[in-house]
Amino acid sequence: MRDIVLLGGPGAGKGTQAQILQKQFGFRQISTGDLLREHRNHGTELGKAAEGFMKRGELVPDELIIKMVEGELRDDAGVLFDGFPRTVAQAEALDALLESRGRGMAGAVYFQIDRASLEERLLGRWTNPRTGRVYHETFNPPKVAGIDDEDGGPLVQRDDDKPETIKKRLDVFEAQTMPLVAYYQHSERLAAIDATRPVDEVTHVLLHVLGLDHGH
């Protein structure tokens, strides 16, 4: 399978592994949040249609999202879907789209990690707002607390990483993602990875389950 859905809570490490797959194997990452922003910024027909729903505080309909995704399936490069699909209906629509393009159905990788570990990871995150570089109080602290190692400027804690927001994000994740895990598991397209392990170990297992480790 060349098209992979990444499932896992905020802070599970999906983004880090997606970057590694992009650099080493030429995958393209598709995040629907980024797609929506691009279409709105460029004033495309799909962007204008989506903006109408967003202004009214409504969810953008699945068919609009799927059309945006379809526009990204331009070549043979494998695609990493991050933050999409969010519902079983979207997963079914994505499968139908990929099949219609002769790509076969997507596989899914579930970054498994308990809620307490996710909270610990998210609560300690500090970000450089100028470069996006992320530190962690416990796992990757800056040399001087609150100061970026590289540019010496202040680090901030994003609103996303504050305790009350984290609880809400994890509640939403659990409600949305567990049905998707079941959907991919049911059709035997799910690989679960222990995401509590160090980054390089997670990469090693990920490459193995995707058949990308060269010894196989």
Catalytic annotation, residues:
14, 86, 125, 158, 169
**CA 121 to mean position of chain CA atoms:** 16
Three-state secondary structure call for residue 17: helix
- Is the Cβ–Cβ distance between 115 and 196 less than 8 Å? no
149 three-class SS: coil
What is the separation of C-alpha 118 from the centre of its chain, rounded to a whole number of angstroms?
15
Task: Say if CB 27 and CB 80 are below 8 A apart.
Answer: yes
Q: Rounded to the nearest 10 degrees, how much is the dihedral formed by the CA atoms of 125, 169, 13, 89?
A: -160
Which tokens is 152 given? Answer: 């010496």
